[in-house]
Each structure stands twice: as C-alpha cells, then as structure tokens.
Structure 1
Amino acid sequence: MNDDTTQTNCVFCQRSKIDTYILKETPHFRIITDYAPLVEGHLLIMPQEHYACYGTVPASFDAELHELKREVRTFFDRFYASPVVFWEHGVFRQTVFHAHLHCFPFKGITYNLTDGLHDLVVSSQDDLRTWYASQGHYFYLEDPHHALLFSPDMDRYFHVIRTILWTGATAHNGKTEWRSPQQRQEAGKAMIPLTAARWKQFQQQGEAHAQ
C-alpha cells in the first residue's frame, strides 16, 4: 500500500473530478455511478483514501464495506428487480489504479464452479489481503452464490468477461455489440441521471421506512 492517503495523479482521489457521480459517502468509502456504464445502475464502491486494490484495504474497513454491499443489493433488488454481480480487476487490467468494486444489476448470471478457472472461493476480505500479499495481482468476481478470486491469466480473464459480464450486460440492455469506453461514456449521459434519480428515491424511501 502506498503510505499517501491521496495521489495527485489519481482521478478517484480528487473529489472535484468525481463530484457529479457521487451518490453516497461514508467515513471511508464512496458509492458513485460509473462514468462509462455498461448498463443503467452500474455503480462503483471505492475507498476515499488511495489503495491500489481491495487486497490492500485494511480490515478495519470491512464492516463498512459489507454494509455498503448490502445496501447496493437492496437497491438493485428494489429498483432493478435484479441481484448484484460484484467485479474487481485488482491491479490486473485496471484503468484507474485506485481500488474500486464494480456493481452490476445482472439477472441469471452465475459462474460455473465446474469450469475450474478460479483459484480460490473467497470467504472474507482477509482472503484478498492474504492473496495479494503473497501472490500479487488477481481479479475478483462475486455472483449471488459465490465470491471467487482468479489469478491474473488473460485467457481466464476474457472468458469471465465474455461469459459473465458481457452476457449480463447484453441481457440487461439488449445490445450485442461490444462498445468502447468512449461509446459507453456517451450512452452514460442518459443512464447516469436515471441511476442517480433511482438512488435518490431509494435513499428517501429508506429514510421514510426508518421513520
């Protein structure tokens, strides 16, 4: 882990650069909309301080992260009638080198354990920290049934991208062609405000339920 809590060259460390995407902040994390979403509802959970990946985020943050993941599950269930798929590149294949967990509202998407491509069934965040400390790079997938860690192999990576993430995105939005980040960013101009409006309604409902 870098000892600096922020990095001047990291867009996720510069709140002013992501301010329009922020949906929620807690003591150590933010939930934001992805700036180039695969689908409407595509969110990111990220630490406010600079960590390379979730394999370096301290254990003292785990309960807070767990609660945010639970909240995203509830949001997707209520507003997209869909379970959540969590995805992290690790440091492997990242485009922004700041820990961030993708959250997708994907229905009917499950990794088949018999494929045998994963290296570890993850039981806690400690597994990510232990792997990263000893093995380094990884990528991470969590569907409604399993949390899985994969070693940084390109064939495995693209297999999971193709069979899980792209299949989920296609089922969600009906678009079968692969879109570049630039194309997704353009499409996101319509999707991001819809996601933000649904999140605002979700938060208001939560407050009403609490009262």
Structure 2
Amino acid sequence: MCNIFNCLFFELKENLILKKTDNFLVISDPYPITDEHIMIISKKHYGCIGELDKQQLHELSEIFKDLKSEYLNRHDDFVFYEHGRAGTCGIKMANQECHHLHLHILPIASYVTLNINKDLNRNSATLDAIPDLYNSHGQYLLLGRASQCNFMPVYNTQIPSHYLRSVICHAIGSPEKSNWQTIAEHQNLMQDSNQHIRYRA
C-alpha cells in the first residue's frame, strides 16, 4: 500500500466531487473514457472492495444501486470495473504501486463486446460477495454490466496497468484513451504552453 499522504485520491479537486457519503465519494473521472464516466472511491485508504467491512460494503452497494438506476434512465447499458489489486491504476509512489479503491462506471452500449484474456475465469458474483471471494482467492479483476457482475481471480496471469480500461477503450474504438497518464501529461503540457503564451503576450 502506498503512503496515503501521496495518494492521488487524497488530492482531488472539489469540482470533481458529485456526491459524498460517510465512507465514499462519487466523482467525475478526471480523464474520462466517455461522457458520464464516474468513479466511486473510498474516503479512507483501502486497496479494493474486497477489504471493506459489512457496513462499508452495504453503503457502497446502495450508492451503486442508485447510480445504476440513474444510468439506465438515460442509457441502454453501462460498464463498471475495478482492479482488485491485480494490475493497478498505474500510479507509483516511492517505487510502490498505489492501490486505492476506485470503482469505475461509464455508459457503454449493450452491443459492445469486451475481449477479456481467456486465461481469466469469470465467476458470477454480487458486490456483497466480493470480500469473501477476495479472502478466498486474493487479487482479482471485477467487470460487469447492468445485468451481470464477473469476479475474475488473478493467480499467475500478469495483468498490465489499467488493463480493463484498455479493453474498454479498444472495444469502443478509442485506443488512444487507454493510458490515462498519457492524457494527464498532455493536459499538463497544454496548460504549461497556455501559461507561457499568456506570459509572452
């Protein structure tokens, strides 16, 4: 686990926050794959959904239920995913991978096929079952749609950083969005360039 004082999720801009509950924040993804790409993140530093206690898990499930209803009022389907300590979001702090619970949710048409590594076993699950499955299997990938949720244990398979994001980006024809860090670097470069232009003017 990385140092909580250096964690990206403890340095959020207020304008990204859509909703606050006792233990979670719902935020707009700062580097979205699609419009209405959001994340549910834990206020405290947990590595994944599998580390939550029953009360926190119930709270997360209620938030997810409300968001599911909102998405299905506007879209025919959506995708949600989490890297449960398998792969990572790509952040490194002091040479350590940074794990912080963040569940992605974004609208994706029901006809879009997501091509997942065939070596990964898909187990139908609910969010409530994740901690028990995590205790039994260890690190995992979580991927679901409005009508299903798949828990995929990761044993010996090497999972690259932001793997599920890459799968989704390729499926919808936006592979250039696969690496959010590249997008972040581009935004920072553009911001620096704009500041330089204003200074010269």
Greater relative contact order structure (CA < 8 Å, 6+ sep): 1
Number of the residue aligned with 1:89: 83
After superposition, give the CA deviation of every residue in 1:34-65 in whole Å (9 maximum; x if it has no partner).
11111111100112111110000111123321
* Pairing 1:143-182 to 2, within 5 Å after superposition: 143-152=145-154, 153-154=157-158, 165-166=168-169, 168-170=171-173, 175=174, 177=176, 179-182=178-181
Say which SS state the counterpart of residue 165 (structure 1) adopts: helix
Q: 2:73 aligns with which of 73, 78, 96?
A: 78
TM-score (norm 1): 0.68
Aligned partner of 1:121 in structure 2 is: 124
Q: Using the alignment, how far apart are the partners of 1:130 and 1:24 within structure 2?
A: 28
2:136 maps to which of 117, 134, 137: 134
Which SS does the other structure have where 1:36 is aligned? coil
| Aligned equivalents of 1:103, 1:74: Cα separation in 2 | 12
Q: Distance in 1 between matches of 2:141 and 2:152?
A: 5
Bigger shift: residues 84-93 or 67-76: 67-76
- The 3 A distance-change label for structure 1 pair 65 and 154 is same
TM-score, normalization by structure 2:
0.70
In 1, the alpha carbon distance for the partners of 2:68 and 2:187 equals 21
Deviation at residue 138 of structure 1 after TM alignment: 0.5
**Structure 2 stretches lacking a partner, 5+ long:** 90-97, 189-201
1:84-138 C-alpha deviation (Å, 9 max, x unpaired): 21100111122241101000101114669xx684242113423x21232232211
Match of 1:208 in 2: none
| Alpha-carbon separation, structure 2, partners of 1:179 and 1:61 | 30
* Contact 1:23/1:32 (8 A) holds in 2: yes
Flag the structure with higher strand content: 2
| RMSD over equivalenced CA pairs, Å | 3.4
* Aligned residues between the structures: 175
Aligned match of 1:10: 7
Aligned 8 A contact 1:85 1:142 in 2: yes
Distance in 1 between the 2:133 and 2:83 partners? 14
The alignment partner of 2:50 has SS state of coil
Partner of 1:28: 23
Secondary structure of the residue aligned to 2:58 is helix
Q: Deviations over 1:129-172 (max 9, x none)?
A: 1232232211101112321111223479999666x6235533xx
The answer as to whether partners of 2:17 and 2:28 remain within 8 angstroms in 1 is yes
Judging by fraction of residues, say which structure has more helix: 1
Distance in 2, matches of 1:185 and 1:74, equals 31
Amino acid at match of 1:25: K
Letter in 2 for 1:97: H
Aligned in 2, Cα 1:156/1:188: closer, same or farther, shift over 3 Å? closer
Q: Counterparts in 2 of 1:164-203, with a 5 A limit? A: 165-166=168-169, 168-170=171-173, 175=174, 177=176, 179-182=178-181, 184-185=183-184
In structure 2, the partner of 1:37 is: 32
